[in-house]
Structure 1
Amino acid sequence: MDKAVKPPPTPVRYLEIDESRVGQRLDNFLIATLKGVPKSHIYRILRKGEVRINRGRTRPDYRLEAGDVVRIPPLRLSSARDIDPQQAAAGFAWLLPRILYEDDDLLVVNKPAGLAVHGGTGVGVGLIEALRGLRPEAPFLELAHRLDRDTTGCLLLAKTRPAMLALHRMLRFGEMEKTYVALVAGAWRGGAREVSAALEKNRPRSGQHQVEVTEDGKEATSLFTPLRRFGFATLMEVRLLTGRTHQARVHAAHLGHPIAGDEKYGDREFNRRLQGLGLKRLFLHAQRLRFTHPVSACKMDLEAPVPAELSTLLERLTHESPA
Structure 2
Amino acid sequence: MNANKPSGYFITISLDAAGQRTDNFLRTHLKGVPKSMIYRIIRKGLVQVNKKKVKPEYKLKHDDKVRIPPVRRSEVEKSCIFTTLDNVAILNDAVLYEDEDLLILNKPAGTAVHGGSGLSFGVIEGLRVLRPDVRFLELVHRLDRDTSGVLLIAKKRSALCSLHEQFRTKGIKKDYLALVKGYWKSRSQKVVAPLLKNALTSGERIVRVNAEGKPSETRFKVEERFALATLIRATPVTGRTHQIRVHAQYAGHPIAFDNRYGDDAFNQTLKVCALNRLFLHAISLCFEHPTSRKTFRIEAPLDIKLNRCLLYLRANKK
Q: Provide the TM-score with structure 2 as the length reference.
A: 0.89
Does the CA-based 8 Å contact 1:52-1:72 persist in structure 2? yes
Residue in 1 that maps onto 2:182: 186
SS of the residue corresponding to residue 276 of structure 1 reads helix
Is the counterpart of residue 112 in structure 1 residue 100 in structure 2? no
For the 8 Å contact 1:117–1:126, the answer to whether it is kept is yes
Matched with 2:42 is 46
Quick one: which amino acid aligns to residue 177 of structure 2? V
AA partner of residue 247 (structure 1): Q
- The question of whether the paired residues in 1 share the 8 Å contact of 2:18 and 2:157 is answered with no
Counterpart position of 1:198: 194
Instruction: List alignment gaps of at least 5 residues for structure 1.
Output: 1-8
Residue pairs, 1:59-208, within 5 angstroms:
59-78=55-74, 88-208=84-204
Mapped partners of 1:91, 1:37: distance in 2:
18
In structure 2, relative to structure 1, the CA distance for the partners of 1:35 and 1:134 (3 Å cut) is closer
- What's the Cα RMSD here? 2.5
What does the per-residue CA deviation read over 1:182-215, in whole Å, with 9 as the maximum and x for residues that have no partner?
0000111122111122222211122211111222
Count matched residues: 314
In the other structure, the counterpart of 1:221 is: 217
Match of 2:245 in 1: 249
- Against the structure 1 CA distance between its residues 239 and 124, is the aligned structure 2 distance closer, same or farther, given a 3 Å change threshold? same
2:223 alignment partner, SS class = strand
Shift of 1:108: 0.5
CA distance in 1, matches of 2:228, 2:78: 46
User: SS of 1:281's equivalent?
Assistant: coil
Partner of 1:16: 12
- 2:293 and 2:56 map into 1 onto residues whose CA distance is 34
Contact map agreement 2:139 2:154 (CA 8 A) in 1: yes
**Structure 2 unmatched runs, 5+:** none
What amino acid is aligned across from residue 245 of structure 2 in structure 1?
R
Alpha-carbon distance between aligned partners in 1 of 2:183 and 2:96, rounded to the nearest angstrom: 34
Task: Label 1:61 to 1:109 Cα distance change in 2 as closer, same or farther (>3 A).
Answer: closer
- Provide the identity percentage: 47
Q: Which residue of 2 aligns with 1:230?
A: 226
Does the CA contact (< 8 Å) of 2:257 and 2:276 recur in 1?
A: yes
3-state SS of 1:20 partner = coil
What amino acid is the match of 1:146? R
Which region of structure 1 is more displaced relative to structure 2, 230-239 or 32-41? 32-41
Match of 2:260, SS?
coil
Contact 2:31–2:81 (CA under 8 A) maintained in structure 1: no
The 2-side partners of 1:164 and 1:81 are apart by 29
Quote the offset at 1:41 in angstroms: 4.1
SS at match of 2:16: helix
Q: Secondary structure at the match of 2:73?
A: coil
Q: Is the 8 A contact 2:80 2:120 kept in 1?
A: no
- Residue 271 of structure 1 deviates from its aligned partner by 0.8
Residue in 1 aligned with 2:283?
Answer: 287
Q: Which moved more, 1:23-32 or 1:222-231?
A: 23-32
1:89–1:129 CA contact under 8 A, matched in 2 = no
> Could you tell me the TM-score, scaled by structure 1's length?
0.88
CA shift, 1:156, in A, is 0.6
Cα distance in 1 for residues equivalent to 2:280 and 2:256: 8
1:78–1:208 distance in 2 versus 1, CA, 3 Å:
farther
Deviation at 1:28, TM superposition (A): 4.2
